[in-house]
Chain A
Amino acid sequence: MKLIYSYLQKFLPDLNVEPQKLRDDLTMIGHFTNFYEKIDNEIVFDLDIKINRGDCLGYYGLANDLSVLYNIPLVLPQNFSYPASNCSLPIQVTTDNVTRIMAVKIVHLKNSTSPQWLQTFLKLHGVNSINTLVDLTNYVMFMYSIPNHAFDTAKSNDNLIWEMNSKYSEFTSLDGTVLKLDPSILMINNPQRPLSLSFWGGEDCAIDNQTTSTIIEMAIYKPTTVRQNSRGLKSVTEASIRLEKQLDPDLIPTALDHLVKLINENCGGQITSQVFDYYPNPITPPTIEFNLDLPSIMSGINIPQDVSLDILKRLGCTIRGKFITPPSLRLDITQEEDLVEEVVRFYGYNKIPINEPLTLKQLPDITPKEIYQIEELKDKLVALGYDEILSWPIISKPSNPKTVVTTQNSINSESIYLRQSMTQSLRGQLDQYTRYNLPRPQFFEIGEVFSKEGDKITEQTSLALYNQDSDQLHTDTLRCLSSENWLFQDNFAEIILDNLPKPESYIPQTINNEAIELTSQIITLDANITLPQKRDHQELIREYRSKISENILWSMDIVDIFNNKYTFRVSYYNCTDKLAKSTHLSAFGLLDQTKTTTIAIDPNTETKLLYYDDMYQTTAKAQIIDIRKVNNQNYLILDQTVFFPEGGGQPGDQGTISNSSNNLKIKVILYKDGQILHATSNNTLSIGDQIDLKIDWNRRYKYMKIHSAGHLLHEILMEVDSTLVPLKGYHHDESYLIYSGYIDPKSISQIESKLSTAITADLPIICDYTDLETLKKDARSVPQNLPLHKKLRRLKIGNFPSMADGGVQVKSTEEIGQVKITAIENTQNQCKISYQVL
């Protein structure tokens, strides 16, 4: 439900609290308010209204609560005075599903497009504007939570009949939907045609700009009838949402007055009928005998009797001694406990202390023994090396169709059976582990299995486990449960626990666990190494494990030993094939035996990277130390350079290299094995030449700002949602970040404002050399594909954590200037956030 602050003030002119406070107060009294936002110059709140409070699906009900909370008056519009008329409307009611109907006829009205305020109001409530008359009926529904309807009497005539459907098989609603009807449907018809459902108007007598005469009706029905009709026809409307809840029939006169007044003001017209009022059984709210000490007794804190009385009075209750009659608006209040809740919520839930819990009380232990049995078995299986899994209890293929229990309405058309054995479920898990290449899985599950014999449905608790070593499986089953009831099938074992002996008591051992969500295949590689002498096996495993990051190491075993030759089998996860291979080769010292792209950097020919010493340096002198020619392109290698090569999502520099006889444009700059390659087509330069370097500073500075902005944006996003996983950053003219996760597109303004705060704060941006250990200590995360053949560099903005970065950056955030988020696009698992430095 949307709530516009300024419209709430129409009922509460004295309301003057900060939106933030209003949001929190509404929540505390039971109307959870997610957030508020400013749209079209209005402050709009987003609330969840609970089903017991149909009145609060309108401004009036919420205003009523707030007038009690803030002790401010609730103001209603002035009564409308209807002109005298002799004409009574020929309306008939032939069903007892109607609680109350009021109706009035207006003629000679002028309908047209709605005024702007009304269009905006409806837009903010997610409703399309149709025309003034229709929009006003919707406006009044939102204000009072009482649905109503206008019939064009030129099409419907005045002979409206409220009846249960007896003759029509079809009905076309306002939006053209054709619904199949049955006799359970409550309808408004004329003697010739169906006109409307209780919760949805019909196309045939819809109001349009040509409408000049109308019957306005406002009605409340038996909530269950509307609910069944709406569910049966699979049609939910703003009206059905309200009518299926308890609404106050005594509020209809006020709401109708307001609607007629608004029609009169906006469409003119003349009232030509008496006000029709059908209300055969006026409601009488219950009178409740109330112990005024009960709020204190139930809440556990002292709430003085006069405070309780005052709250109930403000709520509109009639109080006669200890007898309380709630107002008709609050038909949800039927008993003492309901009155207690009213008192406590307005007195303040936050006045109840949070630090006085129950204390220990020894009662007889009624824990069912099967719970002890399950806890004990879980501990035993974990000690034997089995992992616990949970699987779907609903399956698609029964193992025995004769005894399977079938669902009536399952989550999809295939998975409709309750599982008959746990092994069925475990097979699915094994398939999945096989898909991920998980080495040597062994796992178990304890859960419910179901079967049917005749009419009798049996639910039993079953344990099943899997081990690819069947000998071991047999031994382990006996170790955890010695019984001849074990059933073995392939490498699965299963047993029904219900009829087995159970322990009298059992205290579970707490085990800390680390679960991993697999997202990519596990990569298993072998390594053969020869050692100078034989070593203790476990010590060896520990030694080699320490050489591989825990972030990617899954498991390490020794699978073969011959004298002092060992074969290790190592599984890697959460990384690419390439990274697994390079890590593997380096951990086992096998690098030099393979063709690898990594070349050791020669300090004698390494280019000195001046741009890392001073990112603002634009010129330098350098000497050519090598020229390499590849496909008509010459690559100059210099002793030092200010040219930044492309990398890390940042474009490379452009600029000129010159000496007395040359002035060459450099456009492509690459980094390779410690050297910077400056591409040029000129071939008159020679090794040993002295040259002058000059970068295109405007271009460089632009990308420095874009790159720094990208990093700052990343830090802000991580603050907003630390669960995002960075996947890619691109800092060219089109600039964006890609994450695994979800970023709410509504959060643009929030992110922009945080960015702007950080930029204004002029945070320092520090870039320097570092090592992996230091980086690991301060960074949120370290990318697994960090180049191993370069010296590591890090970036640190203000007090945000460090991160690995080899780019060139501005020296503080203010230099970035203004940043705009241009788009947030969420796809299946990824989110792309695009930004622009203005």
Chain B
Amino acid sequence: MDLNTIKIEVNDCQNQSDLEAVRIKYLGRQGLINQEFSKIKTATDPKKFGLELNKLKNNVEGIIKNKLSTIRTLPTKYLPEKREKNIISLPKIGHLHPITQTERELNEVFRKLGFSIYGGPELVTDEYNFRRLNVPVNHPARDMQDTIYIKEPELLLQTQGSAIESQLLASHKPPIRCAFPCKVFRNEKVTKSNHFVFHHYQAVVVDKGITMKDLIGTMDLMFKTIYGPNVIVRYRCKYYPEIEPGVGPDMQCFNCKGTGCALCKYAGWIEMGGSGMIHPKVLEMAGIDHHVYSGFAFGMGLDRWTMAQKNIKDIRTLMGGNLAYKPN
């Protein structure tokens, strides 16, 4: 095995997959160089043998990397004639999932206000999903969400975006400005209009002097950005255990314009989620002095809005199965 032969092989590569084949041949787990390494124990001078082999390995990595950069500078734009020799199509672009698109629109609103985008695991402990959000064991608020538990003590699939909020508050000191999309899970029967997985969006702010006016103004800015400047949202009192005072945003029904229809269950308004000033107990449990700092949090579901926008009638479509995209 000499370096020059390898160089020639690398130079002959026309595309990335050819190059990858060469790379796997020499540098892969079962590659020739690794096979050589296994002979080290039987070598007469193991140290020298090892050093030389390492040098060779580094050289090969280097020339492959160089070659890769030249291949990459070739136009990577998708050329249909090359894809499938027999089929000619218009150039194809893929599509983001409609939920991702909605999430990105929201992220953009908050980035402009100096928010970081946050995230967390989907499996969480009871502590972060409930107790740190002022929902102790046996609290009736647990009935608001049917939880899917894992066969391990204390672990569950997060039922709300606030589970990420409690992790965020526990691990960062104020001032905090974060927004995040996430998947949430409830033990619900899957039907045309109900699903056990859905998508939440949550924003959390903790700083000195944060008020309900900041919360309502920011939420309204968000609604107007994504739903258009003419959207009418009212902000009213609403209860959630992890906030006090609570604020419920309701959007005037876009279908009936407030007169009442089947979509809004004749209320004329659609509940858009929950929000409020972060409960002092929640701040306390996160080690944040609520006499110095205050904060707001709000969360909303993305699925129904996304469905209305894309004219999707069955919520199951969002989570696989019937969702498809027309090729351009």
Q: Which residues of A contact B (CB under 8 A)?
A: 27-30, 32-35, 50-53, 223-224, 227-228, 244-245, 297-301, 335, 337-338, 340-341, 344-345, 349-350, 352-363, 365-368, 370-371, 375, 378, 381-394, 405-411, 418, 425, 428-429, 432-433, 436, 438, 441-444, 448, 450, 452, 455, 457, 459, 469, 471-472, 474-475, 478-479, 482, 484, 508, 510-519, 537-538, 541-542, 554-561, 569, 719-723, 740-744, 746-747, 750, 829
Residues of chain B within 8 A of A245, CB atoms compared: 140
Give 25 A-B contacts (CB < 8 Å), ordered by A residue.
A27-B250, A30-B239, A52-B241, A245-B140, A299-B211, A341-B237, A344-B245, A345-B245, A350-B234, A358-B177, A358-B214, A363-B175, A375-B104, A382-B95, A391-B319, A442-B94, A459-B121, A484-B24, A513-B95, A541-B89, A556-B90, A741-B313, A744-B265, A750-B260, A829-B192
Residues of chain A within 8 A of B51, CB atoms compared: none
Inter-chain contact A388/B93, CB cutoff 8 Å: no
A540–B224 CA distance with the chains assembled, in angstroms: 43
Counting CB contacts under 8 A, is B267 at the interface? yes
Beyond A358-B205, A555-B326, is A388–B217 a contact (Cβ under 8 Å)? no
A341–B121 CA distance with the chains assembled, in angstroms: 33
A720–B321 CA distance with the chains assembled, in angstroms: 30
Inter-chain contact B317/A337, CB cutoff 8 Å: no
Considering residues A27, A515, A722, which has the most beta carbons from chain B within 10 angstroms of its beta carbon? A515
Counting CB contacts under 8 A, is B66 at the interface? no
Residues of chain A within 8 A of B326, CB atoms compared: 514, 516, 554-555
Contact of B280 among A335, A378, A750 (CB under 8 A): A335
Interface size class of B (residues with CB under 8 A): 35 or more
Beyond A298-B211, A519-B322, A537-B88, is A409–B140 a contact (Cβ under 8 Å)? no
Beyond A344-B245, A366-B178, A383-B93, is A354–B235 a contact (Cβ under 8 Å)? yes
A27–B114 CA distance with the chains assembled, in angstroms: 33
Contact of B244 among A337, A750, A829 (CB under 8 A): A337
A301–B214 CA distance with the chains assembled, in angstroms: 10
Q: Mark B27-52, 1 if CB is under 8 A from A, else 0.
A: 11100000000000000000000000
Beyond A35-B267, A358-B205, is A389–B323 a contact (Cβ under 8 Å)? yes
A510–B98 CA distance with the chains assembled, in angstroms: 12
New A-B contacts (11) at CB < 8 Å, excluding given A27-B236, A300-B214 = A34-B267, A340-B244, A358-B177, A358-B205, A361-B177, A366-B118, A368-B118, A391-B320, A406-B150, A409-B148, A537-B88
A33–B238 CA distance with the chains assembled, in angstroms: 12
Beyond A358-B218, A475-B16, is A517–B89 a contact (Cβ under 8 Å)? no
Counting CB contacts under 8 A, is B70 at the interface? no
Residues of chain B within 8 A of A722, CB atoms compared: 255
Inter-chain contact A516/B280, CB cutoff 8 Å: no
Which residue from chain A places its CB closest to the CB of B188 in the assembled complex? A411
Contact of A406 among B29, B151, B196, B255 (CB under 8 A): B151
Residues of chain A within 8 A of B320, CB atoms compared: 389-392, 425, 428-429, 432
Considering residues B185, B314, B320, which has the most beta carbons from chain A within 10 angstroms of its beta carbon? B320
Residues of chain B within 8 A of A740, CB atoms compared: 313
Inter-chain contact B113/A478, CB cutoff 8 Å: no
Residues of chain A within 8 A of B213, CB atoms compared: 299-301, 352-353, 356
Considering residues A350, A366, A436, which has the most beta carbons from chain B within 10 angstroms of its beta carbon? A366
Q: Mark B300-326, 1 if CB is under 8 A from A, else 0.
A: 000000001011111001111111111
Beyond A301-B213, A354-B216, A409-B148, is A366–B324 a contact (Cβ under 8 Å)? no
A362–B113 CA distance with the chains assembled, in angstroms: 8
Inter-chain contact B236/A30, CB cutoff 8 Å: yes
Counting CB contacts under 8 A, is B53 at the interface? no
Counting CB contacts under 8 A, is B166 at the interface? no
Counting CB contacts under 8 A, is B266 at the interface? yes
Inter-chain contact B187/A409, CB cutoff 8 Å: yes
A721–B259 CA distance with the chains assembled, in angstroms: 11
A720–B323 CA distance with the chains assembled, in angstroms: 27
Counting CB contacts under 8 A, is B233 at the interface? yes
A773–B121 CA distance with the chains assembled, in angstroms: 52
Counting CB contacts under 8 A, is B170 at the interface? no
Which residue from chain A places its CB closest to the CB of B16 in the assembled complex? A478
CB distance from B65 to the nearest CB of A (A): 9
A734–B262 CA distance with the chains assembled, in angstroms: 25
CB distance from B224 to the nearest CB of A (A): 9
Inter-chain contact B261/A747, CB cutoff 8 Å: yes
Inter-chain contact A720/B96, CB cutoff 8 Å: no
CB distance from B18 to the nearest CB of A (A): 10
Residues of chain A within 8 A of B317, CB atoms compared: 517
A428–B322 CA distance with the chains assembled, in angstroms: 11
Residues of chain A within 8 A of B150, CB atoms compared: 405-408, 418, 457
Inter-chain contact B95/A357, CB cutoff 8 Å: no
Within 8 A of A (CB), among B167-211: 172, 175-178, 183, 185, 187-190, 192, 196-197, 205, 207, 211
Residues of chain B within 8 A of A361, CB atoms compared: 113-114, 175, 177, 207
CB distance from B48 to the nearest CB of A (A): 28
Counting CB contacts under 8 A, is B7 at the interface? no
Counting CB contacts under 8 A, is B143 at the interface? yes
Inter-chain contact A385/B141, CB cutoff 8 Å: no
Residues of chain B within 8 A of A425, CB atoms compared: 320
Inter-chain contact A409/B149, CB cutoff 8 Å: yes
Which residue from chain A places its CB closest to the CB of B23 in the assembled complex? A484
Counting CB contacts under 8 A, is B230 at the interface? no
Inter-chain contact A385/B93, CB cutoff 8 Å: yes
Counting CB contacts under 8 A, is B144 at the interface? yes
Considering residues B78, B213, B308, which has the most beta carbons from chain A within 10 angstroms of its beta carbon? B213
Q: Mark B113-137, 1 if CB is under 8 A from A, else 0.
A: 1101111011100000000000000
Counting CB contacts under 8 A, is B327 at the interface? yes
Inter-chain contact B96/A51, CB cutoff 8 Å: no
Considering residues A345, A349, A365, which has the most beta carbons from chain B within 10 angstroms of its beta carbon? A349
Inter-chain contact A387/B324, CB cutoff 8 Å: yes
Beyond A363-B175, A478-B16, A554-B326, is A408–B151 a contact (Cβ under 8 Å)? yes
Residues of chain B within 8 A of A375, CB atoms compared: 104
Inter-chain contact A515/B140, CB cutoff 8 Å: no
Inter-chain contact B263/A393, CB cutoff 8 Å: no
Beyond A32-B271, A390-B320, is A51–B144 a contact (Cβ under 8 Å)? yes
Inter-chain contact B211/A297, CB cutoff 8 Å: yes
Which residue from chain A places its CB closest to the CB of B19 in the assembled complex? A478
Inter-chain contact A516/B140, CB cutoff 8 Å: no
Complex A-B, nearest 6 residue pairs according to Cβ-Cβ distance, in ascending order: A300-B213, A300-B211, A341-B245, A30-B237, A357-B217, A50-B239
Considering residues A432, A479, A517, which has the most beta carbons from chain B within 10 angstroms of its beta carbon? A517
Residues of chain B within 8 A of A393, CB atoms compared: 122, 183, 185, 197
Inter-chain contact A357/B319, CB cutoff 8 Å: no
CB distance from B219 to the nearest CB of A (A): 8
Which residue from chain B places its CB closest to the CB of A471 in the assembled complex? B17
Residues of chain A within 8 A of B178, CB atoms compared: 366
Counting CB contacts under 8 A, is B248 at the interface? yes
Contact of A746 among B89, B101, B114, B266 (CB under 8 A): B266
Inter-chain contact A384/B245, CB cutoff 8 Å: no
Counting CB contacts under 8 A, is B15 at the interface? yes
Which residue from chain A places its CB closest to the CB of B174 in the assembled complex? A363
Beyond A357-B221, A514-B325, is A411–B189 a contact (Cβ under 8 Å)? yes
Inter-chain contact A474/B17, CB cutoff 8 Å: yes
CB distance from A395 to the nearest CB of B (A): 12
Inter-chain contact B78/A362, CB cutoff 8 Å: no
Residues of chain A within 8 A of B112, CB atoms compared: 360
Inter-chain contact B245/A298, CB cutoff 8 Å: yes
Counting CB contacts under 8 A, is B22 at the interface? no
Inter-chain contact B99/A542, CB cutoff 8 Å: no
Q: Mark B1-30, 1 if CB is under 8 A from A, else 0.
A: 000000000000001110010011001110
Within 8 A of A (CB), among B78-119: 78, 83-84, 86-90, 92-101, 104-105, 107-108, 112-114, 116-119
A482–B23 CA distance with the chains assembled, in angstroms: 11
CB distance from B16 to the nearest CB of A (A): 5
Inter-chain contact A51/B247, CB cutoff 8 Å: no
Counting CB contacts under 8 A, is B286 at the interface? no
